[in-house]
Structure 1
Amino acid sequence: MFLICLPAELTTPLSQSGLARNPAVKNQGKFMTLADFLEFAKKSTVTGVLINIEGPSETTVYLAYLVYKFTPFKSPMRSMPLFMQNAGYLASEKGLGIIEAVSTALTNASYDKLPEKQVLIQSADTAVLSAFKKNSGYKRVLYVKEKISDAPKPTVDEIKHSADAVNLPRSSIVADSGFFVSAFTGVVDEMHASNVSVYVSVLRNEFLAIAFDYFSDPMVEIATYVAGVQVDGVVTEFPATLAAYFRSPCSNLNAKLSYSILPVEPGSLLSLVAPEALPPAEAPAPVLAVADIQDTPLPPVADLSDKASVTAAPQTSPPRSGQPAIAVNTALSLLIVMLSFVQLSFH
């Protein structure tokens, strides 16, 4: 048996457009275990960690990014993310309890005794979040992956049963039409009315990921979500840009400076487009319903010891090499998380 150790590689969501992200350091990432990740974050300047645990049906591979929690016009809190997948599958088929493993690792790293280090547990599966309900010191974040246009009160009340905050895509907060900002949805106000925090994701610096109204300036987009819509947190793949925005006195709209970084006015640029050049009308995004966030409970962690003893064939002779057989538990490799580190300045 041969084990091939592949190098970590920094990926980019815009690779099909030919925009490679920081190719000079694309292989300078490293693989870390959960315990190593928590120790690394504890010694860093970040104020917390975000652990994303996916449910049984999630198979997407994510790029590591940072989450910023903040009070407007004050220094933001920085959280370092970690992603783990397929909690239901690992529990029922592989006998691995991701929930228990994460809880134990956080306790062993003393995060339950470090109030200065905020722990955020994020998942698109409410069953995963409910499993952490007993950990009152951890903030639970529901990841609403699909684009929505509205969140009625019954749905928000259902969210509150399992989560303290929601993480929404940009288009669920600032609606666009053909890359023109068309309107602010009322989702943030609806969440805030029920005391549910709102994070927006994912902000990127590449001009292909920014609406025309921002004039290729990522700081104008940040100002739109922070000062315009007043979200509670920003998920970004370029934390240095977000840090620079908060350091700038121009981000404080109350400072009455000669220049301020202003949020955009929805529809202002779209109104200047000639009628024949307008993008085609899009179907409205769906409303977030209660059924969209209700998930079945996670399966119990299977005991595979009895099954292994029944199915394992008796070994009557040693391996032909004469050396003890080496068993590689590939399931445990799912607990390894790839983090890509880019040289970024936070000061």
Structure 2
Amino acid sequence: MWKPRVLLRSFFLLQFLLLHSVLRQVSAQGSNATTWNTLSGNPPLVIARGGFSGIFPDSSESAYLFAVTASLKNVILWCDVQLTKDSQGICVPDLKLENATNIAQIAKYKSSTYPVNGVTTSGFFSVDYTLKELRSNNVFLVQGNYVRTNRLDYNAFKILSVNDVVETASPPGLWLNIQHDAFYTQHKLSMKNFVRSVSTTVNVSYISSPEAGFLRSIRTFINPKTTKLVFRFPKNEEVDPSTNQSYASLLKNLTSIKTFASGILVPKGYIWPVDPKSHYLQPHTSLVSDAHTVGLEVFASTFMNDIPISYDYSYDPIAEHLSFIENGNFSVDGVLSDFPLTSSAAIDCFAHMGLNDPKKVNTLVISKYGASGEYPPCTDLAYEKAFSDGADVLDCPVQMSKDGIPFCFSSIDLIPNTNVARSEFSSLSKSIPDIQSGDGIFAFDLYWNDISSLTPSMLSPFSNFNLYRNPKFNETVKLLTLSEFLNSTQGLGVVIIIENAPYLARTQNLSVIDAVTDSLSKADYDKPGASNVMIQSTDSSVLLKFKEKTKYELVYMIDELVGDIADSALSDIRRFASSVVIKKGSVYLTNEYFVTGSTKTVPKLKSSNLSVYVQTFHNEYVSQSWDFLSDPIVQINTFVQDARIDGLITGFPQTANRYRRNRCLNLGNSTPNYMKPVEIGGLFQLIDKSSLPPAMAPIPPLIEANVTEPPLAPSSEIVPSSSIAGAPGAQPTQNAQPKVAVCFTISSLTVLVASLLL
């Protein structure tokens, strides 16, 4: 039998472990001391919709407790009020109980059919049952959003009354949302009487409704000093059942709304419209300014980390929040969020800061093909964006053309990210098992002139989830030779990535090592005082060859997942490298997207004085474990603060750089909970044993045999790349052409910065 007090105690313990806290911390005060463009001049409020409904079932005990623990100290808890047959107000997010509970799976309950706002609707309704009946027959709240995990549905979350929420979570503020007054009136239940009654027993901060008539009816007995009334706008084309007016027409008369409400609650699109076809932002409306002019507060809804958002935000929910709370023109007065931790961090840690604010942590930000989250990989604009976004190190995966020109590109196979398969070179497709499974069109089969004429395209690592990246710049970018890349990155660190060197030497007579060494020398990177150069490879023989010739930082890439590293393998790595790149899965163990524990990989590497860089950090929410709350900042913060990595590799350097400069870092005991690393395995421990996923097989360790490679053939046995480039019959190289440097001019930076603020 479910024991609420036992579950409550265990949950409290785990939640506080999850956030490294036994007492709620006072939030950082940096942003609160700044003037805001809200109506009151105070920071925007965070309203937690159903608690922390982005992880736990909406309106469940755990959702409310976690929201209070993980959010700003003045967080407001949101309750969608439904009435039971015995007039009890319960918190359930949908009029149809089957959309938020397991009631449809219980044979005792039968569905009904009723008119709802004039529409015949079938389902399970609270008006057919008393609260006692709902609680005594194992009706529990479940996750109604199928994008989210249902592994927590078996924790027997009972339906809470409004009074239960207050008693359980002790919220700083309570927001009651009342959607269907007309429906309940049809069933001889009075929302008006419920509001009158509950207001005498609990402190209600806000009451919202999409029915103007209902708000007018309760206005006479609501104390405006303690409770504010908010008119809620759904979609424009819908009609207010209490007035028979469309919401679009009601929005045009804000002065009239002011007569019965102190604020409005609108979907995000009312403020920042998004073009439905292109998915880019349109110019913001004047709604917030117009509402503030007549004295109405404006609250924005539908802030969710796990839904596609405008390309302008690059899948970064913090960037989206900032466009609503800090854009130089206005700020909404509050945000209704399923992920109140993200909203709290946006307001308290990231607002009113710039990309040039002092760094609070020194973790390196290393680009992944430039800013490939926003531009086609390894193109001029991708590198320019990574530079302006604050990357410390720009990467160039070196490929070789048929005429021996080294250039930067994400893959030796040109098919994935260019139009080569649809070009005149499509007949060059072939299979090379030594390089990859499946056919490809390989860089070394095309001359540089031909390669540079191709159209690069965006990476789409999560297209199977229908998540795509910014397509606007697919045809306005160009690829760079290694020389062009080096000449454009003076002052920044660079990492030169070399793969397939033995194959190219053996079968194509192309010496990648000689080509890279020569290019670096010509760009003066081998001179004293030059910027840091890293040479990265999965091939130890490549790094050993560079160790013989240069003094660059050598980085060993461990391409497979490893849960530990044998001492002999560590000793071998130290012979040729001072740094190591590993995958995220070699840092934290996961099972069905839940973090279950830490590996020994990072501690072992760092104990041998090897710097550890981790890849690849994406902003898309599907790339993150549930523990990271669909928030790239939470993920980065945990890897930096808990795993203590030395650098992170990302196609979204702006997100990582913004993280390093937020004001909530390095506050010691005053660090707010929303800027603490997650407790590793904490969320997994909350899953009921009956619904745990099958155990995962252990990740094998890295052993010496995985590291040792046969030596490369001596360079004298390979035709130098310069000889190939000038061989009879070969197309002329591009060395005689003017160098196309990526110029970071004031005007281009201004355009970039302006676009980031949109």
Runs of at least 4 residues of structure 1 off by over 4 A?
257-260, 301-305, 325-330, 343-347
Which runs of 5 or more residues in structure 2 are unaligned? 1-423, 426-449, 721-727, 734-741, 743-750
Letter in 1 for 2:458: L
- Does 1:126 find its partner at 2:574? no
Letter in 2 for 1:217: D
2:464 is aligned to 16
- Does 1:294 find its partner at 2:739? no
What are the residue-to-residue correspondences of 1:113-192 with 2, within 5 Å? 113=527, 115=529, 117-135=531-549, 137-192=551-606
Displacement of 1:194 after TM fit?
Answer: 1.0
2:494 is aligned to 49
**In structure 1, distance between residues paired with 2:535 and 2:645:** 18
**In structure 2, distance between residues paired with 1:9 and 1:130:** 34
CA contact (8 A) 2:505 2:718 kept: no
Letter in 1 for 2:533: V
Displacement of 1:259 after TM fit?
Answer: 5.4
1:28 is aligned to 476
Displacement of 1:117 after TM fit?
Answer: 1.2
2:686 is aligned to 272
Displacement of 1:24 after TM fit?
Answer: 1.7
2:632 is aligned to 218
1:97 is aligned to 511
**In structure 2, distance between residues paired with 1:26 and 1:255:** 47
Displacement of 1:94 after TM fit?
Answer: 2.1
Letter in 2 for 1:48: G
> TM-score normalised to the size of structure 1?
0.75
CA contact (8 A) 2:580 2:611 kept: yes
Letter in 1 for 2:684: L
Structure number with larger C-alpha Rg: 2
CA contact (8 A) 1:10 1:27 kept: no
Displacement of 1:300 after TM fit?
Answer: 3.5
Displacement of 1:16 after TM fit?
Answer: 2.1
Deviations along 1:156-188, one digit per CA (max 9) or x if unpaired, are: 111001111110000101111110011111211
1:252 match: secondary structure: coil
Displacement of 1:136 after TM fit?
Answer: 5.1
CA 109–175 in structure 1, closer or farther in 2 if over 3 Å, else same:
same
Deviations along 1:178-216, one digit per CA (max 9) or x if unpaired, are: 100111112111111111111111000000001000101
CA 27–210 in structure 1, closer or farther in 2 if over 3 Å, else same:
farther
**In structure 1, distance between residues paired with 2:493 and 2:711:** 28
Moved more, 218-227 or 247-256: 247-256
- Does 1:198 find its partner at 2:612? yes
CA 28–279 in structure 1, closer or farther in 2 if over 3 Å, else same:
farther
Displacement of 1:90 after TM fit?
Answer: 1.9
CA contact (8 A) 1:123 1:141 kept: yes
Moved more, 187-196 or 118-127: 187-196
**In structure 1, distance between residues paired with 2:693 and 2:536:** 35
Deviations along 1:302-346, one digit per CA (max 9) or x if unpaired, are: 4569xxxxxxxxxxxxxxxxxxx965599xxxxxxxx9xxx9769
CA 33–263 in structure 1, closer or farther in 2 if over 3 Å, else same:
same
- Does 1:110 find its partner at 2:524? yes
Aligned residues: 285
Displacement of 1:10 after TM fit?
Answer: 1.6
Higher relative contact order (CA 8 A, sep 6+): 1
Which runs of 5 or more residues in structure 1 are unaligned? 55-85, 306-324, 331-338
Moved more, 118-127 or 242-251: 242-251
**In structure 2, distance between residues paired with 1:102 and 1:169:** 25
CA 186–253 in structure 1, closer or farther in 2 if over 3 Å, else same:
farther
